[in-house]
Every structure is written in structure tokens, then in C-alpha cells.
Structure 1
Amino acid sequence: MNKTALKIAFALSTAVAAAGATWAANEPAANAKEAEAMVKRGVAYIKANGLEKGLAEITRRDSKEFHDRDLYLAVHRIDGTCVAHGTNEKMVGKNFIDIKDIDGKEYIKERVEFAKSKGTFWTDYKFVNPVSKKIEPKTAYCERLDDHIVCGGIYK
């Protein structure tokens, strides 16, 4: 991993861990059904309100619709650029196509590849859990919407 990608990965992990301070540790974690439902709401919201308004709402930290405990949405363009992020608006505009998890998995690249061949899919990777503040296995449900990928992930 090059130095820039490593810095981005560290910043992302730190931001997500810091965001977890707002979630109570005793609340149950989101489940797969909730993640899938939130992604579907996100896609429907974008379709009904337009891309610009949809991405802004997904990125808005106090959105009740797209933030629930450790569950939030992230949206990437098909080139790997983040265009909405539910816990860290500083991620918006950055390309993460080459970012790797702790095991070296290029999970955004995998999302892009899956999105090109499937309309909906699940993808597994490791990421900092905002509640435990530890790197844990995570799975994300994703749907392609035109040239965008809308995802919501849960910790296993």
C-alpha cells in the first residue's frame, strides 16, 4: 500500500472510531435486514429527490433516515470515488479504488467489480467498528444505481 493510501486508511479508521463515541455500546448492533432496508431507502430517496439532494442527506450526520447506531450509508461512483459518507464528510470527493483493509483486500475495487456485473450484492472486509473501536469483520449490502454504488454495512 502506498503512503497516500495508508494515510487515507488511517484517517478513515480514526474518523469511524471517533464517530462511534456517539453510539452507546450497550445498543444492539444493526443486522443484515436493517442494512438492506436502509440501502433500499437510500436508493429510493435518491430516485425520488435527485442525486444531489440524496447524497447530501446521506452525508448529513443528523439524518434520522440514514444513520442508525453503527449503520450508515456510503455511496461511491463506479470509479471508486466517494460521493456520500454517513460518518465522515471528509471522505467525499476522494477516490478509494486502491484502499485495502488490514488483510490487504481491496474492498472498494471489489464493490466496483461486483457492481459492474450484479445489481445487488454483499461484500466482506474488515473495518473499524465504531462501537468497539476494534477492526472487525464487516459485510456490506450494496445496490448499483446508475453509475453509483449505495452500500450499508454491518459487523459480524
Structure 2
Amino acid sequence: MPKRVLFLCLPILALIVILPTRPVVGRDERVSVHQAVEIETLVNEAAETIESQGRAAFAAFRRKDSRWRYGDVYLFVVDMQGIVLFNAAHPNREGRDLLQEHDAAGKQFHKDFIGVVRESGSGWVDYMFPRPRRSTPEVKWSYVCGTSVDGTPALVGAGVYVE
């Protein structure tokens, strides 16, 4: 089995074992295993697409009702200094340095994204963020994965809002 396939499968298997019993933000809300696997697969495929196509991939990522963007699920790309390179649902964030941004609970989630990628290559981060077309922050879990955009170290992510 190629190393890359094994590397991609291990986190999914771990989620299948851990996620069904893991509460989100200390409450009885849960991210389903199906949702977690779906988001991880999407982000890992996006990372591979970015590495092969660079910024050219962003046009496809932006299309609504596509495999890359549907419902409340969308991709975002941030460089390792906290500059937003791409955000399908919030294009007004692109080009902005959001490393110091805090969520409604005071969490610097862009720092957490970068920290997870630096430490593990990929992983999950919880934070408060409004759904597209809404202003009230909600609990969101995002999976982020390291990638390279035209030679610039970055991360790509997508998330799920917890009902």
C-alpha cells in the first residue's frame, strides 16, 4: 500500500473509533462519523488538487453546488503566516492577515489551524463562526491539511457546523 494512501486512511480510521463518543464543546452535540469522513476526504482531495494545479484550482472550489462547495460546506486556504488565500463563502476575507482574529469565545482559530498543521500535518479545530449568509457565530469543527500553493506553504480546510 503506498505511503500516501496509508497516511490518508489512518486519520479516517481513528475518527471512526473516536468520534462517535467524543462530545463537541463539552455538550452532547456530535459531529457524525459520516460528516467527519466526508470533510476529511474533501479537504485531502483539495490539498492534492492545489498541489497539482496551484491557484488555478480556486475557480472550481468557488462554484456553488459542486463537489467542492455545497450546503454550508466550503473550502478555505490560508498560508502559514495567516493570510487568507482563498475562501469560497467569504471572498472578502481573501488577502487579509487573520492570524490575530478571535472568534466569539476569544479563540485565535487561525493560529490553531496553523499549529495543527505544523504539529501533525492535519487535524480538527473547533471554534465559533457564522454560517454563510448569517451573522450569529455557531460551533464549527474544521479539518485542516497542509498543502503548498504555487510553492507557498499553506493549509486547506473545510468544516461542519454542529447542530
Band the TM-score falls in, shorter-chain normalisation: 0.7 to 0.9
How is 1:1-156 mapped onto 2 (pairs within 5 angstroms)? 31-48=35-52, 50-58=53-61, 60-62=62-64, 64-130=66-132, 134-146=136-148, 147-156=153-162
Identity, % of aligned positions: 24
String of CA shifts for 1:81-136, please: whole Å, max 9, x gaps: 00011112221111100000001000001111221111111001011123775321
Letter in 1 for 2:54: L
In structure 2, distance between residues paired with 1:107 and 1:82: 13
Asked if structure 2 preserves the Cα contact closer than 8 Å seen for 1:74 and 1:84, the reply is yes
In structure 2, distance between residues paired with 1:39 and 1:63: 16
Asked if structure 1 preserves the Cα contact closer than 8 Å seen for 2:65 and 2:71, the reply is no
In structure 2, distance between residues paired with 1:56 and 1:98: 27
Once the 2 structures are TM-superposed, how far is the Cα of residue 70 of structure 1 from its aligned partner?
0.5
In structure 1, distance between residues paired with 2:64 and 2:137: 25
Runs of 4+ in 1 over 6 A off after TM superposition: none
Which has the higher mean CA deviation after the structures are superposed, 74-83 or 115-124?
115-124
Segments of 5+ residues of structure 1 without an aligned counterpart are 1-29
TM (norm. structure 1) is 0.72
Asked if structure 1 preserves the Cα contact closer than 8 Å seen for 2:123 and 2:144, the reply is yes
Segments of 5+ residues of structure 2 without an aligned counterpart are 1-33
Letter in 1 for 2:47: V
TM (norm. structure 2) is 0.69
Q: How many residues align?
A: 125
Q: Which has the higher contact order (CA 8 A, sep 6+)?
A: 1
Asked if structure 1 preserves the Cα contact closer than 8 Å seen for 2:84 and 2:97, the reply is yes
Q: Secondary structure at the match of 2:66?
A: coil
Q: If you compute each CA radius of gyration, which structure gives the higher value, 1 or 2?
A: 2
Asked if structure 2 preserves the Cα contact closer than 8 Å seen for 1:61 and 1:87, the reply is no
In structure 1, distance between residues paired with 2:77 and 2:86: 5
In structure 2, distance between residues paired with 1:90 and 1:133: 14
